[in-house]
Structure 1
Amino acid sequence: MKVKDYSYETFPRYTVNIDGALELKGNKENLRCRMKDVEYQKGCMIRFLFPNTILDEERKYPLVIHVQGSGWYKQDMNDHIFDFMPIVKAGYVYAIIEYHGAPEYKYPTQVDDVIKAIEYLKENYQNYPIDFKHVFLSGDSSGGHIALLVALQERYNFKGIIDLYGVTNFMTFNNWYSKYDWHEERNVTDFLGSLDIELLMKASPMTYLKENMSLPPFLILHGDKDHVVPITQSIELYEKLKEYHYDVIFGRVHDADHGRSIFYNEDVYQTIIAFLDKHQ
């Protein structure tokens, strides 16, 4: 038998009893997650995570541009595919940005790469299920650091900024416990080229935060047992944003280390989704 002019809604459902079969419910509103990689410049890709449903192939979704952390070295672009899936299934596109890694490429290459990726998305969003009127910027760890440097340049009208345990101030990094002394760590030197004080300040997002800037709302999340980036880095940013009367939410994730499974849990997902839903 043949059905002409097939669509999902008009195609007949098989309703004849099947002896002994389990009868399971399908969910026509359920979103699944699919992935697509696009090279936005030579050697660097955007890894898209798209929501997808059978009923609405033409739907456009708000976009979260996420800068993948890596200690500024070459990124593992598979690191957050599953971490962000619950947010994608809530109806958001993730565009995970790859940048050129240290030590071959030094600051500000990584900042410039993210700006190039954003420009690519601005020029090509029509090719993807993206509503570019609703764009957020996010980043974790070193990616959070780069995302903050981009956000505080005020070049783009983001709906919100999500900082996940990012570095905010090299000058105060050693003010709380960490297994690293960043005056001695090789990856900071590999990233910056030196530990010159002026360079450390120039590469610190806190340097750029001023009063009366045109900034979107911030969501900052950090584990209180982070052994890599001290939670005080996020607290410093949070308190300064509050002092300047910006819209900011800080979430302390109890017992969470630097990301990982304790951090990426239902409370964190619901907090991020609520922030995105409120400000999209």
Structure 2
Amino acid sequence: MEELKLIPPLQIPPESFPESEELPEGVKTVKWKDTFGYDVEFLPDEVYANRDGINLHLKVLIPRTMEEPDRQWPLIVFVQGSAWHRQDLYCHLPALLRMSQRGYAIAIVEYRPSDIAPFPAQVQDTKTAIRFLRINASRYRIDPQQVALWGDSSGGHTALMTGFTGDDAPDMDAYREQSAAVNCIVDWYGPTDIAKMNYYPSVQDHIGPESPEGFVIGRKNVLENPELSEATVPMNYLSREKGTPPLLIMHGGSDMLVPFNQSCRLYHKMKELGKTVEFVKLVGANHGFGGFNCEEALDVVEEFIKKYI
């Protein structure tokens, strides 16, 4: 009968734990290294506000490491695009999980859809979410001084408006003891001037009341309501005197929904005003695919965020 000896729990770090000497016949041996980065903890969804009868949620991912259980992580606030309608908050989860594995806390923001609340509700909600995250920084293990804002499509537009206006209007009073300002912005193929979109190739209408752009200004015709359309243009909130967070723009050259020209307009205005901006054209890429779902795209985002966060 095999004699076993009880071994008390070892009080040693993981790197010092002894290798087992057992090797049953036929067992294949390999020696690999982890390349995915940190483990990631998915926190329970949290309601950060209730507006127009809707609970608005945050989905938060936190890197996890045994060596530094209390480490504070830089934060990426991500605004999922949805043509300003109801969001699928899981749409970019694979890419965001990979970013979290690289060492970032990720908070995916749910905003009020334009069907219920038109512009600037989406911007107001995102600012509230940023402030809520800062208030709860210790609980989320995030560094409130290191916050990047990233959005795609309509979420890119919301990220631009939020980042450009910071603690200025459009805004709300919730959690105003904290700032909504961010260190930098990443805009993936976001609309920037909705009244100009139909002047460039696209597969959908951007003018009529039933278009995404019409819905976001209150289900109205975009060209017939210039005062409402102009209010949604991020470039109108820029000035040479006012500080602007550094901006990274990434847009597919073959985008069939948001014309590439939309990002060109933003880039030209940023350069004209002497702002810090980087622009990457993904040749042949469409609206969020054909070049965005790869490590190379995430490398560009991370390099930019590391530079300015």
TM-score range, shorter chain: over 0.9
Q: How does 1:71-86 map to 2 (within 5 A)?
A: 71-86=83-98
Compared CA separation, residues 56 and 261, structure 1 to 2 (3 A) = farther
State the partner residue of 1:181. 205
Q: CA deviation at 1:10?
A: 8.2
Matching residue within 41, 45, 52 for 2:57 = 45
Compared CA separation, residues 199 and 109, structure 1 to 2 (3 A) = same
Distance (Å, rounded) in 1 between the aligned partners of 2:36 and 2:189: 33
State the partner residue of 2:176. none
The CA deviation string for residues 110-168 of structure 1, in whole angstroms up to 9 with x for no partner, is 11111111111121111012111111111111011111111121324422111111111
Q: How many residues align?
A: 280
Matching residue within 112, 122, 126 for 2:134 = 122
The CA deviation string for residues 34-60 of structure 1, in whole angstroms up to 9 with x for no partner, is 322221123111111222223222111
Q: CA deviation at 1:279?
A: 1.5
Secondary structure of residue in 2 paired with 1:83:
helix
Distance (Å, rounded) in 1 between the aligned partners of 2:203 and 2:292: 19
- Contact 1:154-1:214 within 8 A present in 2 as well: no
The CA deviation string for residues 173-212 of structure 1, in whole angstroms up to 9 with x for no partner, is 2232111221125322222212311000011212212222
State the partner residue of 1:93. 105
- Contact 1:31-1:53 within 8 A present in 2 as well: yes
Do residues 13 (structure 1) and 38 (structure 2) align? Answer: no
Matching residue within 231, 239, 245 for 1:216 = 245
- Contact 1:175-1:232 within 8 A present in 2 as well: no
State the partner residue of 2:230. 201
Q: When the two structures are superposed, what TM-score results if normalisation uses the length of structure 1?
A: 0.92
Q: Pick the structure with greater CA Rg.
A: 2
Do residues 165 (structure 1) and 170 (structure 2) align? Answer: no
State the partner residue of 1:24. 31
Q: CA deviation at 1:109?
A: 1.6
Do residues 256 (structure 1) and 298 (structure 2) align? Answer: no
Secondary structure of residue in 2 paired with 1:84:
helix
Secondary structure of residue in 2 paired with 1:103:
coil
Distance (Å, rounded) in 2 between the aligned partners of 1:61 and 1:238: 30
Q: Which amino acid aligns with 2:81?
A: G
Distance (Å, rounded) in 2 between the aligned partners of 1:257 and 1:180: 14
* 5+ long unaligned stretches in structure 2: 1-5, 168-179
Give the RMSD, CA atoms, in angstroms: 2.1
Secondary structure of residue in 1 paired with 2:291:
helix
State the partner residue of 2:41. 34
State the partner residue of 2:69. 57
Secondary structure of residue in 2 paired with 1:260:
coil
Q: Which amino acid aligns with 1:17?
A: E
State the partner residue of 1:135. 147
* 5+ long unaligned stretches in structure 1: none
Q: Which amino acid aligns with 2:102?
A: A
Q: Which amino acid aligns with 1:219?
A: L
Compared CA separation, residues 160 and 10, structure 1 to 2 (3 A) = closer
State the partner residue of 2:3. none
Do residues 277 (structure 1) and 306 (structure 2) align? Answer: yes
Distance (Å, rounded) in 1 between the aligned partners of 2:131 and 2:35: 35
Distance (Å, rounded) in 2 between the aligned partners of 1:264 and 1:114: 24
Do residues 244 (structure 1) and 273 (structure 2) align? Answer: yes
State the partner residue of 1:112. 124
State the partner residue of 1:68. 80
